Chain A
Amino acid sequence: MADQSIPIGGSLDVTPRDHERVPLLDRLHEWVVTVDHKRLGILYVLYALFFMAVAGAEALSMRIQLAVPNNHFLQPELYDQFFTMHGTTMVFLVGMPILFGIANYIVPLQIGARDMAFPRLNAFSFWLTAFGGILLYWSYIGGFGLYGMGNAPDVGWWAYAPLSTKPFSIGPTIDYWALALIVSGFGTLGTAINIIATTLSMRCKGMTLLRMPLFVWLMLVVSALTLITITPLTAAQVMLLLDRNLGAHFFDAQAGGSALLWIHFFWIFGHPEVYVLVLPVFGVASEIIPVFSRKAIFGYPAMVAASVGIAFVSLGVWAHHMFTVGMTSVSNTFFVLSTMLVGIPTGIKIFNWLATIWGGKVRFQTPMLFCVAFIFQFLIAGLTGIMLAVAPWDWQLHNSYFVIAHFHYVLVGAIVFNIFAAVYYWFPKVTGKMLSETLGKWHFWLFLIGFHLTFDTMHFVGIMGMPRSIYTYEANRGWGHLNFIISVGAFIQGIAVLIFFWNVIVSLRKGKEAGNDPWDAWTLEWATPSPPPAYNFASDPVVHSRRPLWDIKHPDDPDWKYES
């Protein structure tokens, strides 16, 4: 095993770049027509960050509206549009694009490939997703509604029938919603297919399935899950469009149709969708925690098995969103038990992350801080999830702010935290510059404080009976002070995100040079220069273990001696 041929640094032919001046228009054109997985990954992330700012502004407007009782900061119609657009945007235009974007950039590098399996399909998928987002927001100006003016979708991100059918939502707003998500859904499907083909067919020599980095494993699982998750939504939205535009009767109770069917179809998509968002960040944590604990990941095969297990279990739990619909006690019991089953593989993962940190030489730099917060917040999110999985508890708290608090604990406390961790971790690779540690710590601590002020408090107003999606509330309910705290927390999070954006801009201009491998990490992407050249690797790497760079850095004590 002496023939180590992983190229590090100098052995790559890095063509000189960035020195000649390219006119702005030409450079823009290069980015528009690019099929390079790294550029597309960056486009995905920038696109998602833009919409994160938009949907964040919507959330802050809602928090101003709810900060005090009997407030009229927003018009009621606008408020409904904002919570609908906030949810839809965050899930479809922020969460999935940013995670698939990071995967686009990182997966080929980590498996030693020179690009994705289908570079042109990759570009096509990105532009579909991008135009889907533009189409959705076009509704603000293009969709005439009852008020003769721009009118965005206002029926909640789940668009329950019959509210979303023609008699109750006149005008084309819901058509915008359905079409935009169908278009971006096809983009997501294309990316998922591409990632599966890349991981299964493009791995470098020696990279067996059980030597793949866990981030790649998780993206493979997520992509497979995406195939059967996004498509039911597409199908249901086609049905909705047929109902609205051709007079079909799928969800039309007057002709014998059933709104219940929509709820089922939506959550058959909607629940696994949460796992599509959360599994990639499990992968991020499984990359960052070992590197910053200076230990190999604990229980790699168990992590892989747990990931696949979560994906399978997630397909059979959707009706726990529907306990209040009125199902038979047999179905209730089934979905209570299947939901609790999710706790087992996720528990395995949390134990393995903790065991990885245990006894390690932990470096608390910004990526690690976000990951540690992620572990504990995800644990709490899981615990409230188990509470809500108990049908009688759910009957009490369904559609309350307790539910909002629970899923924001997952979506923000776990997913957004780890997205930030991923950005801090891979930003040096992508740009060649380190993000500022000082600003990063400010970002982390402010975001952490804001997060807990907002979402911890939401549990309490939820238990006190505050329902979700309400425009305002009366002063004598006793929710006023708590809502004010929630809004303050939201603004602290907003400030933290602004610091993050500031950090990105400042570090791009004046950041410390990163070098190839600033974190002393072990996966293949750190063997390339920062940023990696076109086609990544000058020669195809060969790997012998799960941590190829460890093998090179420690030839006396390589990993392949211990891995079976």
Chain B
Amino acid sequence: MSAIPVSPGAENWELPYRGKVAMLSLITGECAIFTIFVVGYIFYLGKDISGPTPAQVLDIPVFNTICLLSSSVTIWLSERQIERGRIRAFAALWALTLALGIEFLIGTALEWKKLIWVDGLTIRTNLFGTTFYSLVGLHATHVVIGAVGLLLVLIFTLTGHINESHTERIQTFALYWHFVDAVWVVVFTVVYIVGR
């Protein structure tokens, strides 16, 4: 089949971009998964039979949080750059986003290292360990997936495969990253503020 003939009366027939619809659907599903884990966390707050408790071992990860949340800003700025076709600025902001995401993962790794080796808290220690590692771990998994995506796009950009015609796709991916950041706000509030 060669050219598809365009029927008359089609002038102002515009439908939403399928990628964004799909990503928003995926995010809706992910929200349900996170809701279950957050409910599990809240349900078991303070029901531990043995220690350690959140108040004893958790430090508020302020720097980590600032990094992750500002990565939402940098990715938003990079979206604006690609829209205007400024690929170099886009690549720089995109790389910065990736760096902030990786910093967050390093921060989480250090936190877990301290919890495991110093405080002796593992997933099988008590309910707090069970719910903490699964909720924070679920979020960290999403950051890892996002970081892999960021890295791939960065490689494509540096090898000259990305231009402004990819704006919508870039924005679609950015939706996922914004979602990962938004979930962190919830996780942060539940785990480090309410739960502590």
Assess whether A196 is interfacial by the CB under 8 Å rule: yes
Are the CB atoms of B16 and A189 closer together than 8 Å? no
Interface string of A527-540 (1 = CB under 8 A from B): 00000000100111
Separation of A265 and B43 alpha carbons in the complex (Å):
12
Residues of A within 8 A of B152 (CB): none
Binds A, one of B6-14, B52-60, B158-166: B6-14
Interface residues of A (CB under 8 A from B): 3, 5, 13, 117-118, 189, 192-194, 196-198, 200-203, 205-206, 223-224, 227-232, 234-236, 238-239, 242, 246-250, 255-258, 261, 265, 268, 535, 538-542
Give the residue of B1, B18, B25, B49 whose beta carbon is less than 8 angstroms from that of A192.
B25
Interface residues of B (CB under 8 A from A): 1, 4-10, 13, 15-19, 21-22, 25-26, 28-33, 35-37, 40, 43-44, 47-49, 123-124, 126-127, 129-131, 134
Given A201-B15, A231-B29, A265-B36, A540–B6 Cβ distance below 8 Å?
A: yes
Most buried by B among A117, A197, A234, A541: A197
Are the CB atoms of A196 and B124 closer together than 8 Å? no
Give, as a whole number of angstroms, the nearest-CB distance from B5 to chain A.
5
Residues of A within 8 A of B13 (CB): 205-206
Given A227-B29, A228-B28, A234-B33, A535–B1 Cβ distance below 8 Å?
A: yes
Are the CB atoms of A255 and B16 closer together than 8 Å? no
Are the CB atoms of A541 and B123 closer together than 8 Å? no
Residues of B within 8 A of A235 (CB): 32-33, 36-37
Give, as a whole number of angstroms, the nearest-CB distance from A318 to chain B.
13
Given A231-B29, A249-B124, A256-B49, A117–B9 Cβ distance below 8 Å?
A: no
Give the residue of B4, B25, B130 whose beta carbon is less than 8 angstroms from that of A227.
B25
Are the CB atoms of B30 and A231 closer together than 8 Å? yes
Separation of A404 and B8 alpha carbons in the complex (Å):
55
Given A196-B22, A202-B18, A248–B1 Cβ distance below 8 Å?
A: no
Most buried by B among A194, A200, A202, A249: A249
Are the CB atoms of B40 and A261 closer together than 8 Å? yes
Given A3-B9, A202-B18, A247-B124, A540–B26 Cβ distance below 8 Å?
A: no
In this complex, what residue of B is CB-closest to A541? Answer: B7
In this complex, what residue of A is CB-closest to B9? Answer: A542
Residues of B within 8 A of A255 (CB): 49, 126-127
Are the CB atoms of A232 and B36 closer together than 8 Å? yes
Extra inter-chain contacts (13) besides given A201-B21, A249-B126, A250-B130, CB under 8 Å: A194-B22, A197-B18, A200-B16, A227-B32, A231-B32, A235-B33, A235-B36, A236-B36, A242-B123, A246-B123, A257-B44, A539-B5, A540-B5
Give, as a whole number of angstroms, the nearest-CB distance from B27 to chain A.
9
Give, as a whole number of angstroms, the nearest-CB distance from B65 to chain A.
24
Residues of A within 8 A of B49 (CB): 255-256
Given A5-B7, A200-B16, A117–B22 Cβ distance below 8 Å?
A: yes
Are the CB atoms of B36 and A203 closer together than 8 Å? no
Given A206-B9, A231-B33, A232-B33, A201–B18 Cβ distance below 8 Å?
A: yes
Separation of A228 and B26 alpha carbons in the complex (Å):
10
Most buried by B among A231, A239, A268: A231
Ordered by A's residue number, 29 sampled pairs between the chains whose C-beta atoms are within 8 Å are: A13-B1, A196-B21, A196-B22, A197-B18, A197-B21, A198-B18, A200-B16, A205-B9, A205-B10, A227-B25, A228-B28, A228-B29, A228-B31, A231-B33, A235-B33, A239-B37, A239-B134, A246-B124, A247-B124, A248-B123, A249-B124, A249-B126, A255-B127, A256-B44, A256-B126, A257-B44, A538-B1, A540-B5, A540-B7
In this complex, what residue of A is CB-closest to B48? Answer: A256
Most buried by A among B1, B35, B129, B131: B1
Give, as a whole number of angstroms, the nearest-CB distance from A152 to chain B.
26
Are the CB atoms of B127 and A249 closer together than 8 Å? yes
Residues of A within 8 A of B31 (CB): 228
Are the CB atoms of A540 and B127 closer together than 8 Å? no
Give the residue of A201, A231, A246, A256 whose beta carbon is less than 8 angstroms from that of B127.
A256
In this complex, what residue of A is CB-closest to B27? Answer: A227
Residues of B within 8 A of A249 (CB): 124, 126-127, 130
Separation of A255 and B130 alpha carbons in the complex (Å):
11
Give, as a whole number of angstroms, the nearest-CB distance from A527 to chain B.
14
Residues of A within 8 A of B6 (CB): 540
Give, as a whole number of angstroms, the nearest-CB distance from A165 to chain B.
13
Separation of A224 and B26 alpha carbons in the complex (Å):
10
In this complex, what residue of B is CB-closest to A6? Answer: B7
Separation of A238 and B37 alpha carbons in the complex (Å):
10
Separation of A231 and B31 alpha carbons in the complex (Å):
9
Are the CB atoms of A542 and B10 closer together than 8 Å? yes
Are the CB atoms of B43 and A258 closer together than 8 Å? yes
Residues of B within 8 A of A5 (CB): 7-8
Give, as a whole number of angstroms, the nearest-CB distance from A199 to chain B.
9
Are the CB atoms of A197 and B127 closer together than 8 Å? no
Give the residue of B7, B22, B37 whose beta carbon is less than 8 angstroms from that of A193.
B22
Are the CB atoms of B32 and A232 closer together than 8 Å? yes
Separation of A203 and B5 alpha carbons in the complex (Å):
16
Are the CB atoms of A118 and B124 closer together than 8 Å? no
Separation of A261 and B49 alpha carbons in the complex (Å):
17
Closest 4 pairs between A and B when the two form their complex, measured CB to CB? A247-B124, A235-B36, A201-B18, A231-B32
Residues of B within 8 A of A192 (CB): 25, 29
Separation of A242 and B126 alpha carbons in the complex (Å):
13
Are the CB atoms of A539 and B4 closer together than 8 Å? yes
In this complex, what residue of B is CB-closest to A243? Answer: B130
Give the residue of A202, A250, A539 whose beta carbon is less than 8 angstroms from that of B7.
A539
Give, as a whole number of angstroms, the nearest-CB distance from A233 to chain B.
9
Separation of A199 and B9 alpha carbons in the complex (Å):
20
In this complex, what residue of B is CB-closest to A227? Answer: B29
Residues of A within 8 A of B36 (CB): 231-232, 235-236, 265, 268
Residues of B within 8 A of A250 (CB): 40, 130-131, 134
Are the CB atoms of A542 and B25 closer together than 8 Å? no
Give the residue of A193, A206, A248, A256 whose beta carbon is less than 8 angstroms from that of B25.
A193
Separation of A249 and B132 alpha carbons in the complex (Å):
12
Are the CB atoms of B9 and A193 closer together than 8 Å? no
Separation of A505 and B127 alpha carbons in the complex (Å):
56
Separation of A250 and B17 alpha carbons in the complex (Å):
40
Residues of B within 8 A of A206 (CB): 9, 13
Given A197-B21, A197-B22, A248-B134, A227–B28 Cβ distance below 8 Å?
A: yes
Give the residue of A224, A231, A242, A268 whose beta carbon is less than 8 angstroms from that of B130.
A242
Residues of B within 8 A of A229 (CB): 32
Residues of B within 8 A of A3 (CB): 7-9
Are the CB atoms of A201 and B16 closer together than 8 Å? yes
Give, as a whole number of angstroms, the nearest-CB distance from A524 to chain B.
13
Separation of A231 and B44 alpha carbons in the complex (Å):
21
Separation of A255 and B48 alpha carbons in the complex (Å):
7
Are the CB atoms of A202 and B15 closer together than 8 Å? yes
Are the CB atoms of B134 and A242 closer together than 8 Å? yes
